Amino acid sequence: MQEMVRLERLTKRFGAVQAVDDVSFSVARGEVLGFLGPNGAGKSTTMRMLTGYILPTSGTARVAGFDVVQSPREAKRRIGYLPEGAPAYGDMTPLAFLRFVGAMRGLAGADLERRLREAIARTSLEEAALRPIDTLSKGFRRRVGLAQAILHDPPVLVLDEPTDGLDPNQKHEVRKLIKEMSSGKAIIVSTHILEEVDAVCDRAVIIARGRIVADARPEELRRRSPAHNAVRLTIDRAREEEATAALRAINAVREVRPLERVNGTATLLVLPVDGADLGAAVAGLLHERGIRVEHLTVEPGRLDEVFRALTASRPS
């Protein structure tokens, strides 16, 4: 895989505040990287350094081999950037705005017109193309920002919270668009919505207080969840205590937690030690004792738990 973006020890200090602290990662062509973190963790600051809007205090960022500080023009040419909040000139129509961005990027004539048509079609902006951006809905404005970012078909896309404030249908559209474009590009998507990571990302980098706390595939992250491979089962209420005691006796079981009791049934969560595979052992044991199981599911683990564990502020 061809490496398109490389951040090396990127650091940004605003006065006494360490906004981004020693951040390094790289993104290859064809990869969608989810950049996660709580608000204020340094996501936008990192993206702003990568796109050349602010200068790093130390460290480097390269786009297709071009250093964003040494050769900003070459680097910027290869990036499509959707800044946070999708800013655009409100007095212009999307068409005029896209034409301006295209001209700034050196597109002209038939080539510009073709790319304008393409970008407008890909972001479904046709019906809004001739209305002032100020009068458009949030969803349309976000799409104008996306159209502007993909206009010149850049090898690197940097999208700062592309689905923030959109309704579920619009979110779905944007994610579909990102997925469609992912094959030929290196894409960085910042978000604090975890479902987005599952929906579009091949890899997730989690940042907290300016530092990277995880860089892994979503499945790997999920494996770190205490609930990974936990077994959730529903049984007869009358036999709950017996089952609980028996399950606790299994070596690989860390904890048996009652979740709910409804209509004479009880639901238990059986948590494994170190994510061990419990499914077969639990089912076998209950079968042996003749306890009828109504439901049994193995939990894949939850990203939000991992996210919270990694980013929750702890005393330093």
Partner 1 sequence: MRAVATVFKRELAAYFTTPLAYVFIVIFLALAGAFAFFVGAFFERGQADLESFFVFHPWLYLFLVPAVAMRLWAEERRTGTIELLLTLPASTFEIVLGKFLAAWLFTGIALALTFPLWLTVNYLGEPDNGVILAAYLGSWAIAGAFIAIGACASALTKNQVIAFVLGAAICFLFLMSGVDLVLSAFRGWAPPWIVDLVASFSLITHFNELAKGVINAATAVYLATLVGVCLLVNTLIVDLEKAG
Q: How far is the CB of 145 from partner 1 (least distance, A)?
A: 8
Return the residues of window 1-20 that contact partner 1 according to CB under 8 A.
12, 14
Q: Other CB atoms closer than 10 Å to residue 74's CB: what's the count?
A: 14
Candidate ranges 29-37, 68-76, 219-227, 256-264; the one touching partner 1 (CB under 8 A): 68-76
Q: Which of 65, 90, 165, 258 binds partner 1 (CB under 8 A)?
A: 90
Residue 67 burial class via C-beta count within 10 angstroms: exposed 0-12, middle 13-18, buried 19 and up:
middle
Instruction: Please identify, using beta-carbon distances, which residue of 68 and 221 lies nearer to partner 1.
Output: 68
Site track for partner 1 across 38-67, x = CB under 8 A: ----------x--xxxxx------------
* φ/ψ of residue 29, rounded to 5: -60, 135
Rounded Cα–Cα distance for residues 216 and 205 (Å) = 7
Q: Which of 5, 33, 88, 247 binds partner 1 (CB under 8 A)?
A: 88
Q: How far is the CB of 81 from partner 1 (least distance, A)?
A: 5
Total interface residues for partner 1 by CB under 8 A: 32
Q: Which of 38, 67, 100, 291 binds partner 1 (CB under 8 A)?
A: 100
148 binds partner 1 (CB under 8 A): yes
Candidate ranges 82-90, 177-185, 279-287, 291-299; the one touching partner 1 (CB under 8 A): 82-90
* Distance, CA of 228 to chain centre: 20
Residue 24 DSSP symbol: E
Instruction: Please identify, using beta-carbon distances, which residue of 8 and 53 lies nearer to partner 1.
Output: 53
77 binds partner 1 (CB under 8 A): yes
Candidate ranges 98-106, 181-189, 205-213, 274-282; the one touching partner 1 (CB under 8 A): 98-106
Q: How far is the CB of 143 from partner 1 (least distance, A)?
A: 15
Q: How far is the CB of 65 from partner 1 (least distance, A)?
A: 16
In contact, 246 and 275? CB cutoff 8 Å: no
In the three-class reduction of DSSP (H, G, I as helix; E, B as strand; rest coil), residue 108 is classed as coil
Phi-psi region of 301 (alpha: psi -120 to 50; beta: other; left: phi over 0): left
Rounded Cα–Cα distance for residues 288 and 15 (Å) = 66
* φ/ψ of residue 194, rounded to 5: -70, -30
Return the residues of window 164-223 that contact partner 1 according to CB under 8 A.
none
Q: What are 188's strand-pairing partners?
A: 33, 158
250 binds partner 1 (CB under 8 A): no
141 binds partner 1 (CB under 8 A): no
Rounded Cα–Cα distance for residues 34 and 188 (Å) = 6
Gyration radius from the chain CA atoms: 24
Q: Which two tokens stand for residue 275?
A: 């994510």
Amino acid identity at 48 = R
> What is the contact surface with partner 1 in residues (CB under 8 A)?
12, 14, 48, 51-55, 72-74, 76-77, 79, 81, 83-85, 87-92, 96, 100-101, 103-106, 148
